Homo-oligomer: A and B are copies of this chain.
Amino acid sequence: MSDSSSLPIGVFDSGVGGLTVLNALRKRLPSENLLYLGDTARVPYGTKSASSVTRYAEQAATALVERKIKLLVIACNTASAVAVEPLQAIFPQLAVMGVVGPGAEAGCEVTRNNNIGVIATESTVNNQAYQNAILKLNPEASVSAEACSLFVALAEEGWHEGELVERIVDKCLQPLKHRGLGKIDTLVLGCTHFPALKSSIAAVMGEEVALVDSAETTANAVEKTLGQSKLLNLSSEKGEVEFLVTDDPLRFARVATNFFSESIDVGEIQQVDIQHFNTPD
């Protein structure tokens, strides 16, 4: 076992959505120490430009690397779509993993008719990240993508299910239901907020459409990468989870209950400033 194995896995998100990925990591790798950073002072990323999101991701990664981590997970689809390669170039010694690749993989594994739908934020849809990742894995696939930025607000407000939520979801998904060469049989939830609305999305899409998200496949990919680098924490004790946020911890703790299955004590959340970090040109 390497000396670095007890270092935490760094997990970065624009805010609270990445907690769904933290859940999956916690379940799959209970011994691992986890250090989560939510950039709540600039959330959301999904309506912002690729260059702004890349810069924010670089600043977040810098803050986590300064605190020593053994692997970095970008647990935000919008940031994963643009920042994996830039971050890997800046931190060549560190494994950097996003959630778009594992999400695309999950979609390709599940589809039977090669018609895959993707719902994500405006930014993720516009830069074609999922479309490209899926076609790379399966060139036969037909991908229909739809931006559902409103779902982020619904998820954060705790509007997860019920007849009204289903009507809103239905209106947003109409274009997806009536587009594409064939009927999709698989829908990738390409934003970490969307699993909160899973039951409503399932009700609208119907039971013949399988919903997949990237949380579990990301946790599997992290386990594999750590194993290959002999960096798995083999301790039998339960790992610790630490939280950093860039805005007031109070709202984070409250909204987090919509996404994380363990309770978070607001006193244990540390506020940090990352906006001053100069990022490399």
Q: What's the nearest-Cβ distance from chain B to residue A248, in Å?
A: 4
Interface string of A144-179 (1 = CB under 8 A from B): 000001101110110100001001100100000000
Chain B neighbourhood of A154, CB < 8 A? 150
With contact pairs A149-B153, A168-B168, A275-B275 given, residues A251 and B47 touching in the complex (Cβ less than 8 Å): yes
Considering only CB atoms, which chain B residue lies closest to A153 in the complex?
A: B153
CA distance A156 to B41 in the complex (A): 20
Q: Let me know if A51 is at the binding interface, CB within 8 A.
A: yes
Contacts of A48 in B (CB 8 A): 40-41, 247-248
Contacts of A47 in B (CB 8 A): 43, 156, 251
Chain B nearest CB from A96 CB (Å) reads 23
Contact B49 A247 (CB under 8 A): yes
Number of copies: 2
Interface size on A, residues (CB 8 A): 28
Task: Digitize A126-153: 1 where CB-to-B-CB distance is under 8 Å, 0 elsewhere.
Answer: 0000000000000000000000011011
Identify A164's interface contact among B52, B157, B168, B250, CB under 8 A: B168
A42 in contact (CB, < 8 A): yes
Q: Pick from B51, B153, B251: contact of A248, CB below 8 A.
A: B51
A277 to chain B, nearest CB (A): 10
A interface residue numbers (CB < 8 A to B): 40-43, 47-49, 51-52, 122, 149-150, 152-154, 156-157, 159, 164, 167-168, 171, 247-248, 250-251, 275-276
Can you list 24 pairs linking A and B with CB atoms under 8 Å apart?
A40-B48, A41-B42, A41-B48, A41-B52, A42-B42, A43-B47, A47-B156, A47-B251, A48-B247, A48-B248, A49-B248, A49-B251, A52-B247, A52-B248, A122-B251, A149-B157, A150-B153, A150-B154, A150-B157, A152-B153, A153-B153, A164-B167, A164-B171, A276-B276
- List 19 additional contacts besides A52-B248, A164-B167; criterion CB under 8 Å: A41-B48, A42-B42, A47-B156, A47-B251, A48-B247, A48-B248, A49-B250, A49-B251, A52-B247, A149-B153, A149-B157, A150-B153, A150-B157, A150-B159, A152-B153, A153-B153, A164-B168, A164-B171, A168-B168
